[in-house]
């Protein structure tokens, strides 16, 4: 049955805090640079930034093991970086260049990495959820102990295919963790205006799926809840739902002026609840030096600038690429 009790927050070492700080800062600086490149006309099409939500994927990736899978919707750059995909390849894909993870043909919403078990990046709201259950079904069929992290937002939580997937996942005890990244505004409509029952995690009770709500602006709280969910799924007990309460600082996409909320609201969240600043304070309280944190920021900016330079210098795809990757010639994976 569903339970509201949140997992106890673990004590974290200075080294662990520094790792979380670095990983979240990489996502933040990368997305800021992506926003700049979009404004310069170097990134076309849709571009959904993850600024503000960094603690969600960093906390959950800290619970993952080699071979675990992940799949998400279109606000996906942070998930790619958190699972270890090269920032150069991600940025090159954003700019539609040959050096990108999809050879410049996927753009912001459609990147994949077999090496890192990252299965997208999907543009259709909610459509990645049954695919995530399918990935988990593969592992259940093979009898291993891998789990799949299936991310989607509060807007997608109202999709009918999500309910259907919950039913099948519990029926077959699939090792899938459904992660609802509730940033409170979906594509531009607040949860209060769009949803009669806003506690999305509670919907699992209808299918016997346990779950909980967790503070998504606290990376340690996310990690603690993630460890509980992973333990449940890896033990063969079936799916688990995590509703991670987070907040995006930017609009739904780069073309969204976000007039459905006030600047004061966004500024208040930045000043009082920012996930990166929270870890920064924990590090300073634990004895870290300000200069050490500045050095990390400098290192991250260099990585991001190198990624941007690589994206600019990488050539555009050859026109012949229009005919590749249409049909597969790869033998299906076996157990």
CATH number at residue 220: 3.40.50.970
> Of all helices (H) and strands (E), which one includes residue 148?
strand 148-153
* CA angle 165–171–172, rounded 5-degree value: 90
- Once rounded to an integer, what is the mean pLDDT over residues 261-288? 96
Give me the pLDDT at residue 334, please.
60
DSSP 213: E
Residue 88 falls inside a structural domain: yes
User: How many other CB atoms are there within 10 angstroms of residue 187's CB atom?
Assistant: 16
Residue 69 phi/psi, 5-degree rounding, is: -110, 160
Residue 329 falls inside a structural domain: no
Q: How confident is the model at residue 333 (pLDDT cuts 50, 70, 90)?
A: low
Q: How confident is the model at residue 327 (pLDDT cuts 50, 70, 90)?
A: confident
User: How many other CB atoms are there within 10 angstroms of residue 267's CB atom?
Assistant: 11
> Tell me: the pLDDT tens digits for 36-52?
999 999 999 999 999 99
Q: What separation, in Å, do the N-terminal and C-terminal C-alpha atoms of the chain show?
A: 33
Q: How confident is the model at residue 331 (pLDDT cuts 50, 70, 90)?
A: low
Residue 2 falls inside a structural domain: no
DSSP 311: H
Strands 69-71 and 211-215: unpaired
- CB-count exposure of residue 183 (10 Å: 0-12, 13-18, 19+): buried
| pLDDT(1) > 70 | no
Residue 206 falls inside a structural domain: yes
Q: What is the pTM of this model?
A: 0.93
Give me the pLDDT at residue 2, please.
47
Q: How confident is the model at residue 5 (pLDDT cuts 50, 70, 90)?
A: very low
Hey, which residues does 214 pair with through a beta bridge?
244
| pLDDT(4) > 60 | no
Residue 271 falls inside a structural domain: yes
Q: Which residues contact 126 (CB under 8 A, 6 or more apart)?
A: 73, 152, 156, 159, 161, 162
| pLDDT(310) > 90 | yes
- Once rounded to an integer, what is the mean pLDDT over residues 209-215? 98
Residue 325 falls inside a structural domain: no
Residue 320 falls inside a structural domain: no
Domain range for 186 is: 14-313
Q: How far is CA 128 from CA 76, 107, 131, 144, 235, in A?
A: 12, 17, 5, 22, 24
Which segment of 21-25, 185-189, 327-331 scores lowest on mean pLDDT?
Answer: 327-331
Query: CA dihedral defined by 199, 202, 203, 208, rounded to 10 degrees?
Result: 170
Q: How far is CA 101 from CA 97, 121, 269, in A?
A: 9, 11, 33
Which string of b and e fits 45-70 if b means at least 16 CB within 10 Å?
A: eebbbbbbbbbbbbbbbbbbeeebbb
Is residue 229 within 8 A of residue 242, CB to CB? The reply is yes
Q: Which residues contact 257 (CB under 8 A, 6 or more apart)?
A: 251
| pLDDT(248) > 50 | yes
Which segment of 11-20, 203-212, 224-233, 305-314 scores lowest on mean pLDDT?
Answer: 11-20
Question: Can you tell me the distance from the alpha carbon of 128 to that of 197, in angstroms, rounded to the nearest whole number?
Answer: 22
Residue 1 falls inside a structural domain: no
| pLDDT(298) > 90 | yes
| pLDDT(6) > 90 | no
Q: Into how many domains does the chain fold?
A: 1
| pLDDT(105) > 60 | yes
| pLDDT(317) > 60 | yes
């Amino acid at each position: 049955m569903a339970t509201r009790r949140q997992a106890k927050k673990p004590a974290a070492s200075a080294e662990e805090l520094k790792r979380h700080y670095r990983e979240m800062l990489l996502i933040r600086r990368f997305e800021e640079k992506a926003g700049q490149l979009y404004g310069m006309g170097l990134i076309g099409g849709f571009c959904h930034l993850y600024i503000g939500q960094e603690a969600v994927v960093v906390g959950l990736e800290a619970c993952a093991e080699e071979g675990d899978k992940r799949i998400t919707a279109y606000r996906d750059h942070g998930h790619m970086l958190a699972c270890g995909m090269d920032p150069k390849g991600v940025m090159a894909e954003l700019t539609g260049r040959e050096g990108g993870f999809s050879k410049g043909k996927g753009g912001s919403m459609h990147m994949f990495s077999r090496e890192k078990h990252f299965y997208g990046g999907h543009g259709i709201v909610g459509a990645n959820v049954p695919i995530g259950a399918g990935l988990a079904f593969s592992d259940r069929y093979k009898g291993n102990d891998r789990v799949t992290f299936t991310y989607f937002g509060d807007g997608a939580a109202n999709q009918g295919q999500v309910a259907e997937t919950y039913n099948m996942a519990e029926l077959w005890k699939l090792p899938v963790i459904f992660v609802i990244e509730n940033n409170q505004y979906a594509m531009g409509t607040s949860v209060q205006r769009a949803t009669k029952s806003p506690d999305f995690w509670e919907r699992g009770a209808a299918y016997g799926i346990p779950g909980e709500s967790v503070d998504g602006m606290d990376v340690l709280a996310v990690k603690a809840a993630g460890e509980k969910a992973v333990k449940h799924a890896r033990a063969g007990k079936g799916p688990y739902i995590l509703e991670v309460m987070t907040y995006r600082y930017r609009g739904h996409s780069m073309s969204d002026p976000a007039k459905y909320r006030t600047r004061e609201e966004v500024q208040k969240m930045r000043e009082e609840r920012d996930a990166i600043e929270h870890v920064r304070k924990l590090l300073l309280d634990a004895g870290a030096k300000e200069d050490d944190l500045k050095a990390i920021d400098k290192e991250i900016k260099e990585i991001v600038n190198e990624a941007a330079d690589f994206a600019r210098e990488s050539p555009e795809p050859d026109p012949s690429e229009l005919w590749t990757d249409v049909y597969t010639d790869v033998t299906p994976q076996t157990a």
